[in-house]
Amino acid sequence: MERTIYREIKATQSLWTLGIILAALIAAAGLSVLYVEHNGHAVTGMNNQIVWGLPHVFAIFLIVAASGALNVASIASVFNNKAYKPLSRLSGVLAISLLVGGLLVLVLDLGRPDRLLVAMTTFNFTSIFTWNILLYTGFMAIVAVYLWVQMDRSVHPKYTKPAGLVAFVWRLILTTGTGSIFGWLVARPGYDAAIMAPLFISMSFALGLSVFILVLMTLFRMDGRNISDALLKRLGNLLALFVAAVLYFTAVQHFTNLYATEHSGIETFILSEGGVYTTLFWGVQIVIGSLLPMALIYGGTPAAAGTRAALASVLVIVGGLAQLYVIIVGGQAYPLEIFPGYEVSSSFFDGEIANYSPSVYELALGVGGVAIALIATGVAAKVLRILPTNLEDKNLEG
């Protein structure tokens, strides 16, 4: 094995082009924020029934993926898999960048971002949102220390595993907290389930690794660096395993709800009578985002491992966004059961399926959060030595 050497990426023309595109998306998001703040949330598709819309789907996606992106570093340090060690630095940087992008979407969608100061200085420990603020800020601090330990050779050998273990445990708690936002909302039949916590943890593994694979391949190819097909195949196989775990917990969630009579209504709505939500669940989440990626990864020739891993990653991301849309928006669209066993009808849309059509402003804000995460990762790769110069087979162990 040759010694792993880390170098900054070069400012190539393709990198500049990608940076300009991402900057344009961020500018569009900024204009959308100003327009919505000036005109009110009435210009979006959100209403009194759907208060968490498309921006929240992107925000939760980025937050969940941030936890999963750190999984590569955890495998290297906590589980001592040496083949993943050259990827650990990028894993940490991407995790922080994704979390920042997701939190910015949430803050800017508030309409009054300055109100975040109230949430940061006034704590209500009976609220899961207060706990999540502490978990998110703690995650960024812990991963920053974890990165420093990896990059400083004077402390690297001794403290990498303890720092990695703390980061690993913290991100599991963080994703549990994110899933608990929905699992603890007993008023919504589509949310009220303890399985939400392990479901979100498995989703974080799949979505985070998908984003990591795409970012890794993009940065390496833009800078003309070599990456092993065997490594990409290994990452692809790991992705397929995580996707299978998401399928398992999704099946447990829906079978449990079908068994419980009180949740039969929401299950009928999601699985068969929900229109766009049913289509997203079966067509996009299950077929496109789960079954097809596993078929791609476990089929084909080893020579095409990189292409199959990249395509599977794109499909998993699409399926993950669909799954979050069904959970977040679909769970709100189904009416609240204020009086169980009775039909409720009023002029306030009680007992009715809520309508929601995302606006272009919401889409721009969500995509802008993704662009912020990606451009932050690119800038870090340009100014910090987080990428190895070579990931060919002879440079990998394990």
Domain membership of residue 1 (yes or no) is no
The tens digit of pLDDT for each residue in 79-120 reads: 888 888 899 999 999 999 999 999 999 888 766 777 777 777
pLDDT in tens, 319-337: 999 999 999 999 999 887 7
pLDDT tens-digit series, residues 248-299: 999 999 999 888 777 888 999 999 988 999 999 999 999 999 999 999 998 8
- Is residue 226 over pLDDT 80? yes
Any idea what the Cα angle at residue 11 is, between residues 210 and 76, rounded to 5°?
35
Q: Tell me which of 121 and 96 has the higher pLDDT.
A: 96
3-state helix, strand, coil in the chain (%, to 5): 75, 0, 25
What's residue 3's pLDDT?
66
In a domain, 226, yes or no: yes
The count of domains in the chain is 1
Is residue 194 included in any domain, yes or no?
yes
Q: Is residue 321 part of a domain?
A: yes
In the predicted structure, residue 1 carries a pLDDT above the cut 50: no
pLDDT band at 27 (very low <50, low <70, confident <90, very high): very high
Neighbours of 313 (CB within 10 A): 27
How far apart (Å, rounded) are the C-alpha atoms in residues 203 and 245?
A: 8
Domain with 67, as residue range(s), is 6-395
Burial class (CB within 10 angstroms; exposed 0-12, middle 13-18, buried 19+) of 339? exposed
Summary mean pLDDT of the chain: 89
Q: How far is CA 235 from CA 83, 181, 238, 298, in A?
A: 11, 30, 5, 12
The average pLDDT across 359-387 equals 94
Residue 143: CATH number of its domain: 1.20.1630.10
Instruction: Please state which of the ranges 190-194, 222-226, 338-342 shows the lowest mean pLDDT.
Output: 338-342
State the virtual CA torsion across 178, 180, 181, 182 in degrees, nearest 10: 110
Percent of the chain with pLDDT over 70: 94
- Is residue 247 assigned to a domain? yes
